[in-house]
């Protein structure tokens, strides 16, 4: 039986525009995409003529087969495409004639599913709007390129030995990165910069900031573009935070600002000596207050914490600074519309919808409660003694996934943002992941101890 899904005039107009585009473009199939709790894209392809059925709440799927969604006895779920996300241009050559749409997940009762990551972000964005704010986000995308074998399977063989900003021919990934940029531009991305990063085989692509929901959707598309284009070049792209010991790792730095109803950046105050408003300072205070509780979501894998070590431009302590990259939060020098807060701990294995929801909610709590951040750190935290960090009020970020899970388990804040359903499942699955890792005997242990004892 079909479920009634209510729509407003704007949604109806957008849907009609999508149908015209499908007809005019001769597009026969539409790929409906959504994201599971752990940030992996799922999709189903339907004939273009079946799209109305999805909008009418008739497209059921088995939620119990999707990680973090539903139990077997409550498995029927619905995909409702968001017409504003429509793109008629595929990022894979073999997908010519296929358009795509991102979807929201509903329960069979016609109500938004509380465990839909996109829905979780929407709930916090609605709260921000009620306070008069809109979150603008600009993530930085870092990834490594590896060689593949004759069957296209990834090899643990890095693609080049280039370094930061190196050109070709030292940067052997330049052609793949160029094709990534062209594909992104075809899909409507505005590219700000791209370059070889610090570590061998590491690359970065930065695209224009925007509203948090559309940027979360674009981040998921970006990752698919990178992997698909890399494969066409005989390469394998990975967003793993730390493939190599002793090298820099992949981050998903989140540059963010709040705008008011008139589009003004409320983080900027020209009368302030540092150009930061009190709203910005309180937002920073909120992020630092809840950073540890959010850590299991912003850094959700065992490997995530291999990246968070001193000396690799990765944050290890709870601090903020306008002049160095050793702090959890950095304030880039740009002012005016470009005033922003850069949260440096998230990595690309995180679910962007959940990360954006949590960091926005943390910042809003800081604004509402007027949480003052600690004193700005000027020097490198890496070079400070434990006594100096203590004197400056600099706390430690979780050292591993277990410590992050322990902090999350005590957090009513994270539970409120994610909802009980997603909170409980996330903790359970990630605890099993840590337990599995902790039970293994690793090569380092054999090399270190076997011949000694």
Closest CA to 308 of 251, 256, 351: 251
Active site residue 178: no
Q: Give the pair of three-digit tokens for residue 114.
A: 């509380």
> Which position among 15, 118, 196, 253 bears the catalytic label?
253
155-178 burial code (b ≥16 CB/10 A, e <16): eeebbbebeeebeeeebbbbebbe
Residue 4 DSSP code: P
Active site residue 62: yes
- Write down the residue that tokens 């090899």 correspond to: 155
- Write down the residue that tokens 């937002």 correspond to: 283
> Which position among 36, 142, 293, 365 bears the catalytic label?
142
Q: Give the pair of three-digit tokens for residue 104.
A: 């929201």
Q: How far is CA 48 from the centre of its chain?
A: 30
Distances in Å between the alpha carbon of 376 and those of 321, 329, 370? 5, 10, 17
Cα(321)–Cα(374) distance, integer angstroms:
10
Q: Give the pair of three-digit tokens for residue 228.
A: 């698909």
Active site residue 161: no
Active site residue 204: yes
User: Which stretches does DSSP call E strand in 171-283?
Assistant: 191-196, 202-207, 210-211, 235-238, 254-259
> Residue 121: left if φ>0, alpha if ψ -120 to 50, beta else—which one?
alpha
Q: Give the pair of three-digit tokens for residue 244.
A: 């190599």
> Which position among 62, 211, 416, 428 bears the catalytic label?
62
Active site residue 342: yes
Active site residue 197: yes
Active site residue 383: no
> Which position among 104, 140, 365, 376 bears the catalytic label?
140
Distances in Å between the alpha carbon of 42 and those of 62, 220, 263? 12, 11, 34
Active site residue 344: yes
> Which position among 82, 344, 347, 365 bears the catalytic label?
344
Active site residue 439: no
> Which position among 195, 325, 337, 409 bears the catalytic label?
325
> Residue 57: left if φ>0, alpha if ψ -120 to 50, beta else—which one?
left
Active site residues: 62, 140, 142, 197, 204, 253, 325, 342, 344
């Amino acid at each position: 039986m079909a479920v009634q899904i209510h729509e407003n005039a704007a949604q109806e107009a957008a849907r009609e525009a999508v149908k015209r585009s499908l007809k005019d473009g001769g597009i026969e199939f539409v790929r409906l995409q959504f994201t599971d709790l752990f940030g992996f894209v799922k999709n189903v392809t339907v004939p273009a003529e079946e799209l109305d059925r999805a909008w009418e709440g008739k497209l059921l799927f088995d939620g119990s087969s999707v990680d973090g969604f539903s139990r077997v006895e409550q498995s029927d779920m619905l995909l409702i495409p968001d017409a504003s996300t429509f793109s008629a241009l595929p990022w894979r050559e073999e997908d010519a004639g296929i358009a795509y749409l991102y979807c929201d997940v509903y329960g069979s009762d016609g109500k938004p599913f509380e465990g839909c990551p996109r829905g979780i972000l929407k709930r916090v964005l609605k709260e921000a709007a009620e306070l008069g704010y809109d979150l603008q986000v600009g993530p930085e995308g870092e990834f490594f390129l590896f060689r593949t074998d004759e069957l296209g399977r990834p090899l643990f063989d890095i693609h080049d030995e280039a370094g930061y900003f190196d050109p070709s021919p030292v940067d052997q990934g330049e052609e793949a990165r160029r094709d990534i940029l062209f594909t992104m531009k075809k899909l409507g991305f505005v590219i700000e910069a791209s370059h070889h990063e610090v570590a061998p085989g590491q690359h970065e692509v930065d695209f224009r900031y925007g509203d948090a929901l559309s940027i979360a959707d674009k981040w998921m598309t970006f990752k698919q573009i990178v992997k698909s284009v890399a494969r066409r070049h005989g390469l394998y792209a990975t967003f793993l935070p730390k493939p190599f010991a002793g090298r820099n790792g992949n981050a998903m730095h989140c540059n963010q600002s709040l705008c008011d109803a008139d589009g003004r950046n409320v983080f900027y105050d020209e009368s302030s000596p540092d150009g930061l408003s009190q709203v910005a300072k309180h937002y920073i205070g909120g992020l630092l207050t809840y950073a540890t509780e959010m850590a299991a979501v912003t850094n959700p894998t065992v490997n995530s914490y291999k990246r968070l070590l001193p000396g690799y431009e990765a944050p290890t302590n709870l601090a903020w600074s306008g002049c160095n990259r050793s702090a959890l939060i950095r304030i880039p020098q740009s002012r005016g519309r470009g005033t922003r807060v850069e949260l440096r701990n998230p990595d690309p294995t995180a679910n962007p919808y959940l990360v954006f929801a949590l960091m926005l909610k943390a910042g809003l709590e800081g604004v509402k409660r007027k949480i003052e951040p600690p004193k700005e750190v000027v020097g490198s935290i890496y070079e400070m003694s434990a006594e100096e960090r203590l004197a400056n009020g600099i706390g430690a970020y979780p050292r591993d996934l277990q410590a992050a899970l322990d902090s999350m388990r005590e957090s009513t804040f994270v539970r409120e943002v994610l909802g009980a359903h997603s909170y409980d499942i996330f903790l359970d699955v990630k605890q099993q992941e840590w337990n599995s890792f902790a039970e293994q005997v690793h090569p380092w242990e054999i090399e270190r101890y076997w011949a000694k004892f």
